[in-house]
Amino acid sequence: MQYFESILRVLVVGLVLGAGLPALFAVGLLSYSHGVGVTDADGTTHAPNPAVKFLGLALFVFVAAVIVVAIMWITRTTVIHHFGVDLFPFLPKK
Residue-wise pLDDT tens for the chain (94 aa)? 789 999 999 999 888 888 889 999 999 999 998 888 777 778 788 788 899 999 999 999 999 999 999 999 999 989 989 999 998 888 877 6
Question: Is 92 contained in some domain?
Answer: no
Q: Under a CB-based contact definition with an 8 Å cutoff, are residues 37 and 46 in contact? A: yes
pTM score: 0.77
Question: Is 86 contained in some domain?
Answer: no
Question: Is 52 contained in some domain?
Answer: yes
Question: Is 90 contained in some domain?
Answer: no
Predicted confidence at residue 94, as pLDDT, reads 64
Question: Is 84 contained in some domain?
Answer: no
Q: How many domains does the chain have?
A: 1
Domain that holds residue 43: 2-65
Under 8 Å CB-to-CB from 28, ≥6 apart: which residues?
A: 55, 56, 57, 58, 59, 60, 63
Q: How far is CA 14 from the centre of its chain?
A: 13
